[in-house]
Amino acid sequence: MKTIKINLGDRGYRVLIGGGLLRQAGALLKEAGLDNGLVIITNPMVQSLHGTEFRNRLTAGGFNVTVLTVAEGEEQKSLDTAGRLYEELTTAYTERRTAILAMGGGVIGDLAGFVAATYLRGVPLVQVPTTLLAQVDSSIGGKVAVNHGKLKNKIGAFYQPRVVISDIATLKTLPAAETANGLAEVIKCAVIKDKDLFGFLESNISRIKEEAVLEEIVYRTAGIKARVVEQDETDRGTRNLLNFGHTIGHAIETTCDFRVRHGQAVATGMILVSRVAVKMGIFKEAELKRLTKVIAAAGLSVDKPALDAKKIIQAMKHDKKVAGGRVRFVLPRAIGEAFLCEDVSLEMVEETLNAE
């Protein structure tokens, strides 16, 4: 088992990464100071693939376990679903030390995390991420939220878990498209912070199904996220770097009514914003070629989708990353180094979006 410590004072915790960790979850939870009731919030897919054994192990370990399921899909990240969970929790909760375990992808992590942050003004939360995206990104750092209408993640909080248990073995049942979705965030982290991880991806991405390769990728990427969160827990500066590819990516998702998957939108956003950086003389064309090659090897499209440049620019202007009326972009300087820039010409971005 590999461990990453998140140093946030009394809100600090450990991210535990390894194959088969769910089998030892009882002991790991006790080590994290949890020894009472547990409420697992999950969805039917994750429950059927991994939930039963997990629950049995916890029950055998002496925990009093209740399982609550929510249906599949991003639309479940809503106040309505949170409201239903609060109702169910009133019967499941025997006392305040009972912890909520969010078992699933980012949707479950964000929703169950939001419920844990708000129920009884906050109850202990454990993240048990089962998608690559959730293991490298959403389970770490305490951002929990629900959507409001079309507005993504608008109602939320920063609420750190007590521990994150990332069982690499759960990723074996993940469809290829979900792995590719998570790899977009992995590539993002490598470009902004870690040229060695980028090199590792170049050499090993074709072996992504191997547990050892996945474990290394999750460990290194989660480590990058951990260090960024430690520096800027509440997203006022450095944490914005995690938005590399997301400014254009979110605008693509919004203008396409979320028909484009997040990972694909981020991948396209990373290529387009890097092309802008090449035009500005900041990033080398050869590095852009390396980035494009790794994105393709991850199973993501590198072709520019049909998009309406004017609508994308409008959507970016409405995004929450706009600071004082200026759209803020994360630009790569080299593989492994990026910076925040508010001086990008929107005309140049539009030209890049329109180019063949």
**Distance of closest approach, residue 313 Cβ to ligand GLY, in angstroms:** 23
**Distance of closest approach, residue 185 Cβ to ligand GLY, in angstroms:** 8
| 51, 69, 117, 137: residue in contact with ligand NAD (rule CB under 6 A) | 137
Tokens, residue 198: 């980028």
User: Does the protein bind ligand NAD through residue 72 (CB under 6 A)?
Assistant: yes
User: Of 243-282, which residues contact ligand GLY (CB under 6 A)?
Assistant: none
Give the residue among 170, 160, 152 at the shortest CA–CA distance from 74: 152
**Distance of closest approach, residue 162 Cβ to ligand GLY, in angstroms:** 18
Other residues' Cβ atoms within 10 Å of the Cβ of residue 309:
15
Give the residue among 27, 28, 50 at the shortest CA–CA distance from 40: 50
**Distance of closest approach, residue 133 Cβ to ligand GLY, in angstroms:** 9
Q: Please identify, using beta-carbon distances, which residue of 86 and 339 lies nearer to ligand GLY.
A: 339
Backbone angles phi, psi at 45, to 5 degrees: -60, -50
Q: Please identify, using beta-carbon distances, which residue of 168 and 226 lies nearer to ligand GLY.
A: 226
Using the structure block, give the residue that is written with the tokens 């249906």: 71
**Distance of closest approach, residue 29 Cβ to ligand NAD, in angstroms:** 20
User: Does the protein bind ligand GLY through residue 242 (CB under 6 A)?
Assistant: yes
Give the residue among 49, 35, 46, 53 at the shortest CA–CA distance from 68: 46
Give the number of residues in contact with ligand GLY, rule: CB under 6 A.
Answer: 6
Residue 71, Ramachandran bin (φ over 0: left; ψ between -120 and 50: alpha; else beta): beta
Choose the contact partner of 123 out of ligand NAD, ligand GLY, none; CB within 5 to 8 A by kind.
none
Cα four-point dihedral sign 95, 101, 106, 108: negative
Q: Please identify, using beta-carbon distances, which residue of 14 and 239 lies nearer to ligand GLY.
A: 239
DSSP letter (8 states) at residue 323 = B
Give the residue among 140, 131, 178, 165 at the shortest CA–CA distance from 40: 165
| 15, 32, 43, 168: residue in contact with ligand NAD (rule CB under 6 A) | 43
Q: Please identify, using beta-carbon distances, which residue of 45 and 340 lies nearer to ligand NAD.
A: 45
Q: Please identify, using beta-carbon distances, which residue of 47 and 268 lies nearer to ligand GLY.
A: 268
| 105, 223, 245, 299: residue in contact with ligand NAD (rule CB under 6 A) | 105
SS3 of residue 249 by DSSP: helix
Residue nearest to ligand GLY according to CB distances in the complex: 242
The site string for ligand GLY over 109-148 (x = CB under 6 A, - otherwise) reads ----------------------------x---x-x-----
**Which range binds ligand GLY by CB under 6 A, 157-165, 234-242, 290-298, 348-356?**
234-242
Question: What order of strands is seen across the sheet that includes strand 64-69?
Answer: 2-6, 13-18, 163-167, 125-129, 99-104, 37-42, 64-69
Q: What does the buried/exposed string (b/e) look like for 206-238 if buried means 16 or more CB atoms within 10 Å of the residue's CB?
A: eebeeeebbbbbbbbbbbbbbebbbeebebeee
SS3 of residue 67 by DSSP: strand
| 50, 55, 77, 239: residue in contact with ligand GLY (rule CB under 6 A) | 239
Applying CB under 6 A, the residues found at the interface with ligand GLY are 137, 141, 143, 235, 239, 242
Applying CB under 6 A, the residues found at the interface with ligand NAD are 43, 45-46, 49, 72, 74, 77, 104-108, 110, 130-131, 133-134, 137-138, 141, 143, 153, 170, 173-174, 178, 181
